[in-house]
Structure 1
Amino acid sequence: MTEATSSHPIVWLHHAGQHLGLVPTLGGSVAAWQIDDPQDASARIDLWRPWDGATPDLYQLASFAMVPWSNRISGGGFEHAGQFHPMRPNRVGEPYPIHGDGWLQPWQLTQPAPDTLQMELRSEHFDGNSYEYECVQTFRLVDGGLDQSVQVRHLGAQPLPYGLGLHPWFPRTPGTRITAPVQGVWLCGDDPLPTEHTQHFPPGWDLNTGAPANGGLIDNAYTGWGGTAQIDWPERGLRLTAHMPDFEKDGGTAQHYCLVYRPPQGPAFCFEPITQPIDAFHQPGQPGLRTLAQGEVMVMNVQWRYQPLTG
């Protein structure tokens, strides 16, 4: 079902007591992911903060994919195999290019199955950058949750480093907490580019013991992520979990990162599964980035599940 609430129509998928709205023309983004309220048959509960259906600001959407890299790149670009690849800033107010270019382009939507929607993009040197790729996002509603996949295929003749990520926004209540096994965190300056890696978490930042979704600014990447996470809403009696089903195959804790964006104000925060830390292009060894030759593929799979929060 398509709902034309703005110049960017929402395409809805209703299955397994869930409601997923996609906006292919606006960066291949998600407008909403909702479940039926068990206490009120006429109401829905938002698992991701919903889009208002009007604003074109991608940061107001429920979620979007980050491809062919996530977060920020400093230095006006990056060097690979002896060649410099210039990258231009791509968001007003941001001095660095951020979150790749897939979120800035329209995608094509298909429905391969009653429980599944897909969006596809072919990107060729967007905004003058060096990347040529195809990307497919897959969303499958299953009992108790959502299986989400992002697959990118490199098309260019010259190999290039790739990264992937997801950028969901979660509503936050006063008691909301995010818990995940992590080993360290990159501290940063005001940029916020990373300046120092530490295993000593600032107060309120330790995801291992659970960090409050409200508080001072966090806009930082965590290292040694164990590939699982949970968000608890005590006031709603609800828990949402994330699980990386290919965790071991993809390198375990050494190759998994996540990012928390906790703005001091506002109704939402972000927990982002990512394959590389902030500005990995300029870190020694380019951690987490994967060099793809022509035709090679990189995939990120995430299983989201919701359940009652007890105790």
Structure 2
Amino acid sequence: MVRLGNSELNVQINPQGGCLMAATFCGKPFLKPAPVGCFPLVPFGNRVAGNQFRFRNQTHVLKPNTKDDPLYLHGDGWLAPWLVVEESQTHVRLAYEHQASHQSPYSYRAVQIVSINGNTLNLGLSVENRGEIALPFGLGFHPFFPRTPQTRLRAPARLFWSEKTGHLPDTAGPVPDDLNFAAFNHLPDRWVNNAFAGWDGTAQIDWPEARMTAAISGDALFPHYVIYAPEDQIDFFCFEPMSHLPNGHNLPELGKLTILKPGDKLSGGITLRIDEMRD
């Protein structure tokens, strides 16, 4: 376990999966504690319908990578060991290399940087296509946040995607009232697993019971996010900045996935600034 710490923030990172296992502000958790608080999404996030996609006249097949989901899920990085390349009290750089196999056509090198500065947590992620062909790539982060009865979220978006069988996006339309986070709103008391598009890259989470707030900002690479809040586990929710839509491989314009030729790179990051809530 790698530990970063200063007078305000303490973060624990597990090189297995490149996962943040715990993160606290003045002793109060702002990520849901282990088993996982946040993990990287690389070489793309979420699922691909039918475990296959067609790109440049070639069909590429994926194989399930977990026991619980029939679809290849969230890429490879979250399930694999990362190498600690640099480490200090406030900064760690991790690297992961993946070779194409029967499970995935992707060959790449990913680098994740986690750093703290005062009350700010910075997460950076990059990927380089080290394969022999061009493929569509994407990046994202999958943080699990504590959820309390008074937790509220603000995260403006223009479009909402309904969910269909297989936890895949169905159709795009206006954002429904109970999931409209243009202004602060509470999460509804129901199953939520939806993609949003047209995010402006700013969000805020308030935890009034803990007198704590998190201001989130994402690079321009991340115009989408997914909210996951299962109705049978009400102690957390996920707010997942992503460069692309789930199942982008099978959507128009590749759902904003980025085509990387061999040797091309893609990078982006998010920051979380944690503060005490003001009256």
CA RMSD of aligned residues (A): 1.5
Alignment partner, residue 157 of structure 1: 132
- 8 Å Cα contact 1:225/1:257 also seen in 2: yes
TM-score of the superposed pair, with normalisation by structure 1: 0.86
> 2:31 matched to 1:48?
yes
Mean alpha-carbon deviation: is it higher for 282-291 or for 11-20? 11-20
> 2:6 matched to 1:32?
no
Alignment partner, residue 269 of structure 1: 237
- 8 Å Cα contact 2:4/2:88 also seen in 1: no
Q: Secondary structure at the match of 2:78?
A: helix
Which among 66, 79, 93 is matched to residue 54 of structure 2?
A: 79
> 2:74 matched to 1:99?
yes
The amino acid of 1:228's aligned partner reads T
Which among 185, 194, 200 is matched to residue 211 of structure 1?
A: 185
Which among 197, 215, 225 is matched to residue 258 of structure 1?
A: 225
Unpaired runs of 5+ residues, structure 1, are 1-9, 37-43, 52-59
Deviations 1:216-257 (A, max 9, x none): 11101101000011001111111101112x42xx4xxxx610
Q: Secondary structure at the match of 2:214?
A: strand
Unpaired runs of 5+ residues, structure 2, are none
Alignment partner, residue 11 of structure 2: 20
Q: Secondary structure at the match of 2:93?
A: strand
- Give the length in aligned residue pairs: 278
- 8 Å Cα contact 2:45/2:246 also seen in 1: yes
Task: Give, in angstroms, the shift of residue 16 of structure 1.
Answer: 4.1
Q: Distance in 1 between matches of 2:98 and 2:225?
A: 25
The amino acid of 1:235's aligned partner reads E
Alignment partner, residue 4 of structure 1: none
- 8 Å Cα contact 2:164/2:170 also seen in 1: yes
Alignment partner, residue 83 of structure 2: 108
Which among 241, 245, 259 is matched to residue 215 of structure 2?
A: 241
Give the 3 Å change call, closer, same or farther, for CA 88–211 of structure 1 in structure 2: farther
The amino acid of 1:15's aligned partner reads N
Alignment partner, residue 246 of structure 2: 278
The amino acid of 2:254's aligned partner reads Q
Deviations 1:150-203 (A, max 9, x none): 01111011011001110000011100011111001100124221221001x334
Q: Distance in 2 between matches of 1:184 and 1:243?
A: 19
The amino acid of 2:157's aligned partner reads V
- 8 Å Cα contact 2:179/2:188 also seen in 1: no
Task: Give, in angstroms, the shift of residue 286 of structure 1.
Answer: 0.7
- 8 Å Cα contact 1:16/1:141 also seen in 2: no
Deviations 1:51-82 (A, max 9, x none): 0xxxxxxxx31110010010010122111111
Q: Distance in 2 between matches of 1:197 and 1:80?
A: 23
Task: Give, in angstroms, the shift of residue 209 of structure 1.
Answer: 2.4
Q: Secondary structure at the match of 1:285?
A: helix
- 8 Å Cα contact 1:215/1:262 also seen in 2: no
TM-score of the superposed pair, with normalisation by structure 2: 0.95
Query: How do 1:106-145 residues align onto structure 2 when only pairs under 5 Å count?
Result: 106-126=81-101, 128-145=103-120
